């Protein structure tokens, strides 16, 4: 059924709108299923893990801080001001 004033086929426009709606609904369903799977995997990982994520983060932060401190000390020790040249 061709609209005389715009030259558009209304039936094709309606079919396109329905297909877009169905595609959106399928996309939303896929997003919901995928999100549920990721959340379930995260819960399983947390239950299986012996260390609480907060404690793991604190331990990693301590290690990072100590490594940074050691690197800075090594850099200072190797700097030309501390190097002993010929007297």
| Domain locations in the chain as residue ranges | 10-72
Site of tokens 């490594």: 67
- 17 vs 4, residue with greater confidence: 17
- pLDDT tens by residue, 30-44: 999 999 999 999 999
Instruction: Flag whether pLDDT at 5 surpasses 80.
Output: no
Dihedrals phi, psi of 7, to nearest 5 degrees: 80, 10
Helix-then-strand count for the chain, H and E: 2, 0
The pLDDT, as a whole number, for residue 81 is: 72
Instruction: Flag whether pLDDT at 80 surpasses 70.
Output: yes
């Amino acid at each position: 059924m061709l609209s005389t004033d715009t030259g558009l086929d209304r039936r094709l426009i309606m079919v396109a709108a329905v297909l877009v709606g169905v595609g959106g609904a399928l996309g939303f369903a896929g997003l919901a299923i995928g999100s549920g799977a990721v959340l379930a995997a995260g819960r399983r990982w947390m239950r299986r893990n012996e260390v609480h994520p907060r404690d793991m983060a604190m331990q990693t932060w301590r290690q990072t801080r100590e490594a940074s401190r050691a690197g800075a000390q090594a850099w200072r020790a190797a700097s030309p001001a501390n190097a002993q040249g010929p007297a």
